[in-house]
Chains A and B, each alone.
Chain A
Amino acid sequence: MPASPDPRRLLRWEVMRELAVSDFRLKYYDSALGYAWSMLSPLLMLAVFYFVFRFVLGVTTPGYLVYLLVGLVCWTFFQDCSYSGLTALAGKAGVLKAIHVPAGLVVAAGVLSTMITLAINATVLVVALGLAGRLSLLAPLALLPLLCLALFAAGVSFLVALAGIQFRDASLIWSVMLQACFWLTPIVYVANRGPVAELLYLNPLARCLYLIRWFLLYDYLPALRFVALTVAACAGTFALGVGLFLRRQARIPESL
């Protein structure tokens, strides 16, 4: 006899999906360009950074434009995803106080909605790279670090959501931290070797970006240890974020 799915589990998934899709719809509703905005913002940043780094600072790395583009698409996702953790609970306070919905589902839905954007942007990016003949043979492997990036961002989103409930100035602090994060990750600059790169390896976000570019653009297969440590760091962050969140989850509705 085939096992039927647990109806409550099914509904939780449905709740999360419905919240995520409506969140996604609302984000691009009513703006003249609609969804194109989510691609336009990394492209605008691309133009600015390319101008500054190529012509003002004189960066001569071959393929810098593509390097930058991959970095900015990933960064935009990380920024949106972590920020959604800060706003999701407050935005759904009415729902959380009136319906027995686990608060974690609300945060997860915000994360999911930014992941939809990432999935579309990444697809467009890969197709464009393919058409331009810049895709490496190892490109399919980039899915793994992309998944790591998503896990890491989701974990951070849960942590930020918790901080947002407890501290009034969490959003101010997080916007500063995001700035720091931006410059401590090789998004717009190139740091491939040397002690600087070693230092950047301490940052899981940087590790994801290195791996994504190596697989996607440079046909470079790093040591297995590097990959394993990245997976562990991202999965660990995710587990920490979700774990800490779940411990406090029951008391979230009353503290909103």
Chain B
Amino acid sequence: MIEVRSVSKVFAIPHQKRKTVFDRVFGRGHYTYETFHALRDVSLRIGAGEFVGLIGRNGGGKSTLLRIVAGIYPPTTGSVRVEGAMAPILELGVGFNGALTVRDNVFLYGVLLGVPRKSLEARLDEVLDQAGIGRFEDARLETLSTGMRARLAFTVALLADAPILLVDEALAVGDEEFQLQCVSALERRRNEGRTAILVSHDFNLLRRLCPRLVLLEGGAVREDGPPDRVIERYRAL
């Protein structure tokens, strides 16, 4: 269960990215800030077992909301309550390092996603098999193609088998076969009764996976309901 209660998020964007010690000491201390309301009073309740798709134009606040739910950003006001362990897959293969071996990357990424090292060791062969890169575990990651890296990342990410999944456009990479694999992996998890928030611009995918969509625009929830209605509203923006 995920409960977002009137969450707002304000970023202070200074016109200079960071000030210098020099400025501070010599009193050029008038900083112009622009405040950016990434989220305005967003309330959302997602029950256990629900698959919810988050849509909206770029800059609408989707990623910020996902990051706040994941605990990466603190909300400026409001609160978030999450019941159950989460697996945030906000970016596939984040923390991957091309210079390390495939095996080391599996361990590093898996542990970052909250999978204990021991179970990674036990399931290494299975992971490499599923990702279709069995013979290259000692090769450096950078020798794999982008698509293969994405498959590897997604396979590891699925090991972080938490009851709640947060997925941010993770499926935009890879070939068709891989995308189908991802969709069926997510479908399986839905049928098992897990909870998920998916951010995507792929409406076909969302229609297939999510009985409920939420439209974020200008940092606020504009529509919340069955896919057809929400997508129609999005197109009318």
Contacts and interface: CB of A to CB of B under 8 A. Distances in A.
Interaction A to B: yes
Contact of A30 (B20, B67, B74, B99): B99
B104 A99 contact: no
Contacts of A22: 97, 100, 104, 108
B132 interface: no
A98 B111 contact: no
Nearest to B17: A168
A213 to B, nearest CB: 34
8 nearest CB pairs, A to B = A98-B91, A168-B18, A98-B90, A98-B94, A169-B20, A100-B71, A18-B111, A95-B95
Contact of B72 (A30, A98, A165, A170): A98
B91 A94 contact: yes
A11 B100 contact: no
B95 A99 contact: yes
A54 interface: no
Given A26-B99, A29-B99, A254-B11, A100 B18 contact: no
A26 B100 contact: yes
Judged by DSSP, the binding face of B is loop
B73 interface: yes
A92 B99 CA distance: 15
Interface string A16-45: 001100100110011000000000000000
A99 B72 contact: yes
Contacts of B22: 169
Nearest to B66: A98
A168 B91 contact: no
A116 to B, nearest CB: 16
B19 A167 contact: yes
27 contacts: A7-B116, A10-B116, A11-B111, A11-B114, A14-B111, A14-B116, A18-B107, A18-B117, A22-B97, A25-B100, A26-B99, A29-B99, A94-B95, A95-B95, A99-B72, A99-B94, A100-B86, A101-B112, A165-B18, A166-B18, A167-B19, A167-B20, A167-B24, A168-B18, A173-B21, A250-B74, A253-B73
Interface residues of A, number: 33
A18 B88 contact: no
A15 interface: yes
A49 B16 CA distance: 42
Contacts, number: 85
Given A30-B99, A94-B95, A98-B91, A14 B117 contact: yes
A80 B143 CA distance: 30
A10 B97 CA distance: 24
A97 B112 contact: no
A7 B95 CA distance: 22
Interface of B: 11, 16-22, 24, 67, 70-74, 86, 88, 90-91, 94-95, 97, 99-100, 104, 107-108, 111-114, 116-117
B90 A99 contact: yes
A11 B72 contact: no
A14 B97 CA distance: 18
A81 B169 CA distance: 37
Contact of A95 (B70, B94, B104): B94
A243 B235 CA distance: 49
A94 B17 CA distance: 18
Nearest to A105: B112
Contacts of B24: 167
Nearest to A16: B111
A25 B21 contact: no
A225 interface: no
A251 interface: yes
A251 B97 contact: no
Contacts of B107: 18
Given A98-B72, A99-B94, 10 more contacts: A22-B108, A29-B100, A98-B88, A99-B113, A100-B72, A163-B21, A167-B21, A169-B22, A173-B21, A254-B11
Nearest to A100: B71
Interface string A165-187: 11111100100000000000000
A65 to B, nearest CB: 37
Contact of A97 (B19, B72, B111, B113): B72
A18 B112 contact: yes
B20 to A, nearest CB: 4
Given A101-B112, A167-B20, A173-B21, A25 B91 contact: no
A25 B74 contact: no
A30 B11 CA distance: 41
